[in-house]
Amino acid sequence: MTDFFEREIERLKRKDSYRWLRAMEGPAEARMRVDGREVIVLCSSNYLGLATHHRLKAAAIEATERLGVCSAASRLIAGNNELYRTLEERLARFKGREAALVYSTGYMANLGVISAVVGEGDVIYADALSHASIVDGCRLSRATVKVFPHNDVDALEQLFKSDTGFRRRLIAVDGVYSMDGDLASLPELAKLARNYDALLMLDDAHGTGVLGERGEGTAEHFGLTGPEGVDIEIGTLGKALGSFGAYVVGSRSLREYLINRSRSFIFTCALTPPALAAAMAALDILDEEPAHRQRLWESVRHFREGLHRLGLSTEPSVTHILPVMIHDRQRTMALSDRLLELGVFCQGIRPPTVPPGTSRLRFTVTAAHTRADLDRALEAAEKAFREFALL
C-alpha cells in the first residue's frame, strides 16, 4: 500500500501539482520568518491585524486561566461552556439576525448546514466559483446540484424556470470570492430567491469584519441586512476576527434545526474557551476601533494603485484580495518562489484550487501592513516580474 502513496506523490510532482507545508515562525503578523527567511507576508487572512491584538490576547489568557484550554466534549454532551451563549448572542446582534450557532470551522459549517438543509428530492444552485467547502457540502447532501456560471443571475433564472418537481431549492454562493476578490451579485440573487421561493445561503468568510460601514460584511455592503436579504449566512471567526471557529446566523428555528440535524455540529468537539473569548473581544473592537478597517482600505488602495502603475491588472477584484493572473502554473510557482527570495511571501495559486489556465499570484493586504511594507513589496514585485519578462 505504501507503494501507492509514493506513486501518487511522484505523479503529483510530474503534474506540477505537488504541495508542501512552508515553515512559518513567529506570530501571525505582517512580517514573519518563512522557510528561514524574514519576509513581508501578503497572503494572510488576518485582514484587520487582530490576531495579535492585545485585547484578544488578554481575553484569551483570562479565559484560559478561568476555564482552561479545552472544552473536553461536543456541545451536546458536556462542551457547551458558558462563553458560547454570550458569543452567539453577540454574533446575532452583530449580523442583525434572530440567532447564531458557532461551528468549529467554516469548512465544517458549510458541510453541516448544506447537508442538513437539503437532501434527496431537493436542488442546490451553486456558483461555478464556489469555495471547496460549498462544493463538498453539496456532494454530501445527496441533493441534485446545478452549477451556474459565475455571477450569471440570468443563467440562474433560466435554471429556475426549467426546473420543476423539487421539494426545496437552495442558492449557495460566496460573498467575497476568495481567489478573485469580486463580490456576489447579492441584490439580484436575493430578489431571485424571493421570486422563486428559494433559500439563499451566503458564505461571507472573506467579507465579515471588512465590508460595510460597521464591518458586518457583504450583506451590509449591499444594504441587505436582516432576514429580508439572506436566509442563511455563514462566516468565520478565523480571518478578519483574528480568532478561530465559524458561525451560522439566521432564524431561531434554523438554529434549533441545525442543533438537531447538522452532523458536523453534533459530532465534533466544542471550541476552546480562549478561542471563544478572543472572538468576543474582536467583535468589541469592530464596534469600538473602526480605524483598523479604515487602515485596511487605505492600504488596499495604495497597493492596488502600485500594482496598476506597474501595468499589472488585479481584475476582477474590488476588495482586499488582489489577484494578478500569470496563467501558466509553472511560471506562477517560480514567480512565487522568486518573490520569497526577494522578501515577499505571496503564495502562487494553481489548479485544482482555480480553473486550468488561471494560475495567479494572490496578494492579500491587511491593516497590519505599513506603507513601507507595501512599498517594499511593490519594489520586489517589479523586480521579479521584469525578470520573468512580464512587465
| Residues involved in catalysis | 178, 206, 239
Q: How far apart are CA 225 and CA 228, in angstroms?
A: 7
Beta-carbon contacts of residue 114 (< 8 Å; ≥ 6 apart): 124, 134, 137, 138, 140, 141, 170, 172, 201
- 308: how many CB neighbours lie within 10 A of its CB? 11
At 386, list the grid cell: 521584469
- Asked if the peptide bond before residue 352 counts as cis, ω within 30 degrees of 0, the response is yes
- 313: how many CB neighbours lie within 10 A of its CB? 12
At 264, list the grid cell: 458536523
Amino acid at 30: A
Instruction: Classify 345 as helix, strand or coil.
Output: strand
| Whether the Cβ atoms of residue 126 and residue 134 lie closer than 8 Å to each other | yes
Q: How far apart are CA 153 and CA 192, in angstroms?
A: 8
- Helix 371-387 vs helix 291-309: crossing angle, to nearest 10: 30
